[in-house]
Structure 1
Amino acid sequence: MKKRLLSVVLLLFSCAMIDAQEVQSEYKITLKSPGNPAESYTLTEDASGYLKASQLLPIEIRQQKEEHGSATRITVTLRATDLVYYNFEEVCKLSTMQHADCQFLMPGFWYHRNMRSPKEAPSFATSDSWQVREDRLSTPLTGIYSDKTGDFYTVVRLDKFENESLATHSAGEIILTDKTSLGFTGFRNVGGTTALVFGFPYSEAPKTYIRKLTLAPAVQAFEKLEKGETRQLVWEIRKGKAADYSAFVADVWNYSYDTYRPQVYTDAMSTAEAKRVLSNFFTESYVNKYDLKYFSGVHMRTDDCESTGSVEVGFVGRVLLNAFNALEYGEQTNNTDLINKANSVFDSYLKHGFTPNGFFREFVDYSHNNETDIYSIRRQSEGAFAILNYLNYEKKQGRKHPEWEAKIKTLLANFQKLQGQDGSFPRKFDDQFRVTDPSGGSTPSATLPLTMAYTYFKNKEYMESAKRTAVYLEKELISKADYFSSTLDANCEDKEASLYASTAMYYLAMASAPKERDRYIDLSKKAAYFSLSWYYMWDVPFAQGQMLGDVGFKSRGWGNVSVENNHVDVFIFEFATVLDWLAKERNEPRFSQFSSVIKSSMLQLMPVKGHMFNIGKVGYYPEVVQHTNWDYGKNGKGFYNDIFAPGWTVASLWQMLSPDRVETYFNPKKK
C-alpha cells in the first residue's frame, strides 16, 4: 500500500512538473554604448548554467533553475567584467500551445486579447505580441491560457521593487539615470507558437502607451553596471489547468495573493477621522447660485480646488450621493450647516433636476450655459441609488417625501421602457428613449436601484426587472468573462464593469429567497475575481522627485482603471463590503484579508493640513493617481493630472467607510 501511495504521489508530482520540452527558452542580451545604437547578442546556455554569446562580452550571465512542484524558479545573475549598459531578455516558447488558440492576461491591463480596446490603445488590433513595463500591472505577471486544452502558464517577477529611475525620454533607447527595479513582461507570437517574454530593465514593444489613446514608438531601457557590479533577477514560471478563462483569472489571483501577501497599510486613518476630514469637501464645495444647488466635484484644478460651474448626478460627480452623505453626517454630528446644504441640494433637484420625460438632468455646465442631452444608464442609476438611500433614511427618521417617491417611480418606469428583452440596458440614450449606444456593459449599475426600489416600494415588478439584468449579466458578461464599457469616458475592458457586476449580484442576494440567493452569491464571487485582478498586490517604486514616492505612497490595494485609462484610483464604493461578505459566505479568507488592505491603503493620500499631497484643500481626495509611465496630458508618473473630480472619490471612500449601509437597507432590523 505504501509503495502504491508513493507511486501515485510521484505520478501526480511528475504531472505537475514543467516539462523542459514544453518550455523552450531563448536568451538575448542587448548592450548599448553611449551615443551609439545598441547591439543584441543571442545567448546559449552551457552545462554549468552560464549564458554565453558567440563572442566575449563585458558581462557574465548565469541562470539557475529550481523546481517547486508546478513552478520553476529562475534566478539570473549578471556580473559586469567592465563598465556596461545592458538589457536582458528571455523568451519561453510554449511548444504545445498555438498562439491562435490562446487568450492572455496581464492583470489590471490586459484581458483576453484586449479587442474591446481601440487600436490607439494596447490591443490585438495593433499587434498580437506585447511586452510592457511591470508597473503597468496590478501584479507583475503575464499569463497565457489555451482555450483548446485549458492549460495555462504564468510568469511572475519576484523582487523587492525598491528603486526607480527618471527617464530622459519616453521612447527609443534610454540609458537610465539611476537604478530601477522595473523589468518587463508580456507575450509573443513566435512563428505561430505562443511564448512568455520577460526581462530587465523595462522594454516595451511594439509600442509604449504614454497617454490616453496615444501609442508611441517602442522603448528599451538600459541599466549601467560598473566593473565588478552584479544584478540578480528572479522570475517564477508556473503551469496549471483551468476549466475556462474565469477559472484561470481566479487561480492567478489566488496565486498572486499567496505570492505577494500584501500587508495592511499600518498608518491608516480611523473611520471617524476620515469622515471628519472628508466632510470639509461638503463644507467648501457647496454652490448655491444656480437653480440646482450642488457640491462642486468635477472639472476642478488640483492646485486650488476652486468650485466650478459643472454639476453631475453620477459617474465622477455623484452630487446626490454626496448630499445624502452630508445629510446623514450632519445629523450624526449636529452640524446644521451640512444639514441645510444637503437638504437644499435635494430640494433643488426635486424642483429643477429632471427632464420633461422624467430622467435626471445628468450633467449641467453653468459656466458655458449648456448641458448634455444624451443620458446614460449608469448616471441615471447612480442618481436613483442615491435618492433611494435618502428616502429610506428619511423614512426611518419619520419624514415622508411623496413627491420624491413619485419622481423615482417615473424614473424607474423609464428604466422598464429602456430594458431590452435580454435584460440589458443601453449604455446611452436621449430623453425620447432613442438609443445612441446599445452596449450592455453598464447594465449592472441599474441592478442596484431596482433591487432597492423593490425593497422600498414592495413592488415585484422592480425585482423582476432586476432578475432580468442578472440573466443578461450571467449570459453575456460573467459566463463569457467579458467586462466592458462601464466607465463612461472609455470603451474598453474596465474594472468598474466587473466591480458593478459583482456588487449587483450582492444586492440581488440581499433581496432574494435562499435558493436564488446562493446562485447570486456564486455569480458575485465569479465576477469579484475579475474586479480583484485590477487591484495592486505590490508597491510600485518611484524615483526621487516623483511626488508620490517622496511622500511614501504605497500602491497596494489601489485599483487600475481600464485599458485606456492606465492610472490607479480609489473606486471601491461597496466592493470592500462585498469582499467581506463573500469571505464569510464562501469561506474565502483571502477576500477579507485583501479587503483590509484596500480599506487601509486607500485612505493614505487624505489631504490634511501639513500633509496635503499636492491638493489645494483639505478633504478633496485625489483622483487620477499616475503610478506608471502614462498620463492624461499633465505631469506623468508620480503626480496627478492637473484636473480632477473629487466628487466621486469622496463618495466612494464614504461608502467604503459605511459598511453596514447595504445590509441595514435590506434588513432594517439589523444595526
Structure 2
Amino acid sequence: MTFAGLRLEVLDATGTVVAATPIPSGEAVTAVDVGPFQIAAAVKEAGAQRPRDVILDVTTAADDPFSGHLRLVLDLDGTPDPWWLIPGLFYGENRPEACERRFPRFAVGADDPEGMVSDSWSFRADRAATPAVFVWNRDRGVALLTSEESACGPSGVGLSHTGTVASAHVVFPFREAPVTYYGSAEPLPPDAASYTWRRGETVRLHAAVADVGADRHAYAPVLRQVYETNRSVHPVEPWVSVSEAAEIAAEGLVRWHYDPDPGVLLETVGFDREVSGQDGRRVDRQAMHVGWVSGIPWAYALLRHARRSGDAAGKQRAAAERVIDFICSNLSPSGTFWGTWYRSTGWAQSWTPLKGGLHARTLGEATLFLLRALELGADVRAAHPLWTTAARSNLEVISARQRPDGNVGSIHHAADGRMLSWDGASGLTWVAALAEAERLDDDGGYLNAAVKAGEYYAQFVDREFIHGAPEDVDLAPTSEDGYAAVMAYIALHRRTGEDRWLELARRAADWMLTFRYTYNVAFPARSMLGAYGFASRGADQASPSNQHLHAYGLICTMELLELSEASGDPHYRERAEEALACFRQLVAREDGEVNSYRGMVTERYYQTACFQPKGMLLTLSHAWSAGVLLLGCEQILSATSAEGSGQPR
C-alpha cells in the first residue's frame, strides 16, 4: 500500500531547492538519491485512523560537507482554495482580511512579505502546539506531522500553494520564511537553523502522514493519538498540590493585586519591587478591566475560595466583595458594565480603537461570574442586592439588542448603546451568561436569547474558525475563543439537556485543545524555563498573533469535567487535569522563588522566539493569571470532593 504525494527536497543554506525526488512510499524500504544524500525511506503501515510513520535514514554521500536542509513535502492536488491547520499557529487563512492586528496570513497567489500575506509559510516547530500541518480541499484532507527536535536540530513546519496544489511540509532543521514573525506588525528577516551534513554520516529523521478525509474536524482523533503517545514520555510534575496552589494564588491576589481604595484588582504587578517607571512609580499597571484580565471573574474565584477555606481573618472575602461592589455600582450610561477603570481617569471603554466601545466578551464574562457569585448562597444575595440589579441590567440590555438571527454583537457604545460591530464570535460569552441566569429568568426570555445566540454562533464552531474574543487582537482566532465556546455550549446543555449543545461543546473543546501543547518544549538549559525544567505539555498557545504560553484555559476546568461526565469520554477531564498540573509549576511558594514573591503568577511563558527569546518568563504578575489558577483549583477541588475521590494527580 502506498501513500501518494510525498516527495523530498534538498535546500541549500539560502533556502533554494537544489534537488528533489518523489518517494515511492510503501512498507518496504526504498532507496532514493537526492542531491548529496542517499536516503532509505519507508512509510509504515498503521491501524485505522492512525498516522503512518515515515522513517528517513539519511546518509551524506558527497565529499564536501553540505550546509542545508532536507524537506519532506506532502502534496494535495485539486485544491484551488485550501483550508489549513497548524495547531496553535495557523487556522484557515489565519488572519481575516479585515483584522487590524497584523500577523501571518495566507491568501491564494499572495506575495507581500512586509504585509505578512503570502501563499507560502514556513515556521520553526516550537511555534506549534503539535508540530503538524493539515490541509483540506472539498473532497479530502491530509496531514504531515513531526516532532519539535530532530537528529539535525530543531524541526520546522510549513505550507505552500501553487495553482491547484496545496503542500504541507516538515523541514530539518527549520526555516522561517518568507519573513519571521516576532509579535509586532513589522516582520523580521527570514530565519533558519543550521546543520552541516558530513560525508558518511547517517541521521534518522521521523515524520508521519495521515489521510484524514474531507471533514475539517478530522484533526481531532489524530491529535488525540499524539497526546496519548506523548503523555508518558513528556511528564509534567507540579510543584504544589491543588489545595496549596489555591492558597498561594488567593494570597497573591490580595497581597499584590488588591487595592481597597477604591476596591480594584490591579491588572499587573512587577516581580521586581525595586524597578520603577519613567515617572518614578512602580511598573504596576494602575488599571482594572471588569472581566477578562481582571475584575469580577477573579474576585469570584477569591470569594469562592474564602468560603471554602474559612478565611479566618475575613480579608479575602472582604476584598472580593469590595471589588464586585465597586464594579456593580458603576454601570455605563448604556446600562452595561464599563470596560476598564484607570486610576488617573476613572471608568472608560474597552481596548478597542472604536471610540466609546465596550467589548462583548469582557462584559459577558464579568456578568457570567457575577451570576456565579450570586449562586454561592442566599447570604450573598441578601447582602448584595446591587449585584442582582447589575446582573439584570446587563442581561436586559444585551438581550434587547439581539438581532433576529441571534447575533448579540461584539462592540457597543458605552453612552448610547448602539452597536459598533457585529463581527466575530465574541458574543459567545453572553450565551453562557444568559443560559446561567436561570434564577433571574422569570419568563424564559434569557434562555430564549441564549438559544438563539447559540444557534447563530454554531456556524463558527462548525467552520472550525472561532475568533474575536480578546480585546487586544481584534478578529484573530485565539484559544480564548475556544474557552468561550466550550463554556457557552456546556451552559446551554446544562440548562436544556439537549444533545445538540453537548455535541457543539465537544467540537468546540476539540478545537480549543488544538492550542494545547502535546509535548514538552526543549528549552535552552540556562534559560529561566530550561533551568527550572518547565514542562509545557498542558499549556496553551495564546493565539497565532500572541505566540506565548498562557494559563487562561483553566477558566473552563469545570466545563471540561462536565463534558467528560455527560459524554462518557474521560479525555476531556484528563486534559483539564493536565492543564492544572502544568500551571502548578513555577508557583512561587516563598519570596525570592522564580525571581518573584509568593503568590505572584506570570502571564507569559515564552516557548518560542516571539516577543522575547525562547525560555524567558514575563516578570509581571497578572491578576487574571493568579485568578484563573485559583479558579481552576477551586473547580477541581469541588468536583473531587463531590466525587469523594480525593485530589487529581
Report TM bin, short chain: 0.7 to 0.9
**Unaligned 5+ runs, structure 1:** 1-16, 164-178, 665-671
Which residue matches 2:195?
Answer: 223
Q: Which amino acid aligns with 1:257?
A: Y
Q: CA deviation at 1:354?
A: 1.7
Q: Structure 2, unaligned stretches of length 5 or more? A: 108-116, 274-281, 350-355, 641-649
Determine helix, strand or coil for the equivalent of 2:119. Answer: coil
CA change 1:579–1:180 in 2 (3 A) is farther
TM-score (norm 2): 0.85
**From 465, 477, 483, the counterpart of 1:499:** 483
How far is the alpha carbon of 1:459 from its aligned partner? 4.4
Report the CA distance between 1:252 and its aligned residue. 3.0
1:529 to 510, 513, 517: 510
The superposition leaves residues 41-62 of structure 1 with CA deviations (integer Å, 9 ceiling, x where unpaired) of 31558998454356xx4x6544
| Paired position in structure 2 for 1:284 | 255
User: Is the CA contact (8 Å cut-off) linking 1:93 and 1:193 kept in structure 2?
Assistant: no
Off by >6 Å, runs of 4+ in structure 1: 45-48, 660-664
Q: State the alpha-carbon separation in 2 of the partners of residues 660 and 42 from structure 1.
A: 55
1:567 aligns with 2:537: no
- The residue type equivalent to 2:633 in the other structure is L
Name the SS for the 1:349 alignment partner.
helix
- Deviation track 1:573-605 (CA, whole Å, cap 9, x = no partner) reads 443332232223223233233332222112212
Matched, 1:405 2:388: yes
Give the TM-score normalised by structure 1: 0.82
**Does 1:647 pair with 2:619?**
no
Worse overlay, 540-549 or 338-347: 338-347
Aligned with 2:417 (options 424, 433, 442): 433
Supply the AA of the counterpart residue of 1:200.
Answer: F
Between stretches 377-386 and 306-315, larger displacement belongs to 306-315
Provide, for residues 186-239 of structure 1, a one-character-per-residue CA deviation record: whole Å limited to 9, x for no partner.
222245322222221111122221123332232222124566654321111122
1:551 partnered with 2:532: yes
Q: Which moved more, 1:655-664 or 1:102-111?
A: 655-664
Matched with 1:186 is: 158
Distance (whole Å) between structure 2 residues aligned to residue 306 and residue 276 of structure 1: 26
CA distance in 2: counterparts of 1:357 and 1:324, whole angstroms: 24
Instruction: Give the direction of change, closer, same or farther, for the CA distance of 1:374–1:53 in structure 2 (3 Å limit).
Output: closer
Q: Quickly say closer, same or farther: Cα 1:661–1:400, change in 2 above 3 A.
A: farther
**One-letter amino acid of the structure 1 residue matched with residue 87 of structure 2:** P
AA of the residue aligned to 2:244 = E
Q: Are the counterparts in 2 of residues 286 and 293 from structure 1 also a CA contact under 8 Å?
A: no
Aligned equivalent of 1:621: 601
Partner Cα distance (2:65, 2:536) in 1: 32
Work out the CA distance in 2 between the residues paired with 1:578 and 1:276.
Answer: 22
Cα 1:143/1:406, change in 2 over 3 Å: same
Verify the 8 A CA contact 1:313 1:320 in the aligned structure 2.
yes
1:229-244 matched pairs, under 5 angstroms:
229-242=201-214, 244=215
Deviations 1:272-327 (A, max 9, x none): 1001111222322355474x3112123x434338643211111211x222323333
My pick for the range that moved more, 230-239 or 453-462, is: 453-462
CA deviations 1:111-146 (Å, max 9, x no partner) are: 122142658311114112222111011111111112
Cα 1:611–1:302 shift into 2, 3 Å:
closer
Residues in 1 aligned to 2:460 and 2:7: alpha-carbon distance in whole angstroms: 36
Match of 2:447 in 1: 463
Partner of 2:181: 209
> What is aligned with 1:489?
472
What is the deviation of 1:415? Answer: 1.1
Q: Cα offset for 1:606?
A: 1.2
Q: Out of 280, 303, 319, which is 2:272 matched to?
A: 303
Q: How does 1:363-378 map to 2 (within 5 A)?
A: 363-367=340-344, 371-372=348-349, 373-378=356-361
Which residue is equivalent to 1:452? 436
Distance (Å, rounded) in 2 between the aligned partners of 1:429 and 1:38? 48
- In structure 2, relative to structure 1, the CA distance for the partners of 1:194 and 1:40 (3 Å cut) is closer
2:243 partner letter:
A
Aligned residues: 603
Query: CA 1:445–1:183 in structure 2 vs 1: closer, same or farther (change >3 Å)?
Result: same
Paired residue for 1:152, among 138, 141, 144? Answer: 141
- The AA in structure 2 aligned to 1:266 is E
Which amino acid letter does the alignment assign opposite residue 461 of structure 2? I
The answer (yes or no) to whether the contact 2:125–2:131 under 8 Å persists in 1 is: yes
Q: Distance in 1 between matches of 2:545 and 2:171?
A: 25
- Structure 2 residue identity aligned to 1:313: V
Which residue is equivalent to 1:257?
227
Tell me how far apart the structure 2 counterparts of residues 45 and 152 of structure 1 sit (CA, whole Å): 20
CA RMSD of aligned residues (A): 3.0
Tell which structure's C-alpha radius of gyration is larger.
1
Q: Secondary structure at the match of 1:189?
A: strand
Q: Which residue of 1 aligns with 2:5?
A: 23
Q: Please give the secondary structure, in 2, of the residue aligned with 1:99.
A: coil
What pairs up with 1:85-100 in 2 under 5 angstroms? Answer: 86-94=67-75, 97-100=77-80
**Structure 1 residues 24 and 307: alpha-carbon distance in aligned structure 2, compared to 1, 3 A threshold:** closer
1:510 paired with 2:494, answer yes
